[in-house]
């Protein structure tokens, strides 16, 4: 599970360098995110622009990451590819996250 954490504009960015977040890797994703986000900035942006496919297990893992970050911290999503965007929309989880069209758009709001 390739996740690349970076700090940008006071936020923690996590670039998912994987083509898929599916049932085969959902638990790994959640565990790695838990390690990466622990004790970091309140604002976390997940860059999904390299992820072409996410199934309901992957979706559940992203929701789980949001929940384990706890009160007062934000998990935002950026760069959803069409199939990934569809999964968030059809399950109405698009209303739970702040979703940026692109990583650049999310960066524009750094520190907001």
Partner 1 sequence: MTARPLCPLAGAGQGGPGAAPALVLDFAARPFEVRRSLATVARHLTEAGLGPETRGRVEIVLAEALNNIVEHAYRGQPAGRVTLALRREGGLARVRLCDHGAPMPDGAPPARAPARGTLPEGGFGWTLIRALSARAAYRRMTGGNCLDLEIALG
Binding stretches for partner 1 (CB under 8 A): 20, 22-24, 53, 55-57, 59-61, 63-64, 66-67, 82-83, 86-87, 90-91, 93, 96
Residue 44: both structure tokens together: 């976390």
Question: Between 27 and 110, whose beta carbon lies closer to partner 1?
Answer: 27
Beta carbon of residue 45, minimum distance to partner 1 (angstroms, whole number): 19
If one counts every other C-beta atom within 10 angstroms of the C-beta of residue 10, the result is: 10
Dihedral, 55, 59, 61, 64 alpha carbons, nearest 10: -160
Question: Between 49 and 57, whose beta carbon lies closer to partner 1?
Answer: 57
Any idea what DSSP says for residue 93?
G
């Amino acid at each position: 599970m390739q996740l690349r954490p970076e700090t940008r504009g006071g936020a923690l960015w996590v670039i998912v360098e994987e083509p898929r977040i599916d049932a085969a890797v959902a638990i790994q994703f959640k565990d790695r995110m838990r390690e990466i986000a622990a004790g970091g900035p309140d604002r976390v942006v997940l860059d999904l622009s390299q992820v072409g496919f996410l199934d309901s297990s992957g979706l559940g893992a992203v929701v789980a990451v949001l929940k384990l970050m706890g009160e007062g911290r934000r998990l935002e999503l950026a760069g959803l590819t069409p199939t990934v965007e569809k999964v968030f929309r059809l399950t109405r989880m698009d209303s739970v996250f702040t979703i940026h069209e692109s990583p650049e758009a999310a960066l524009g709001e750094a520190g907001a």
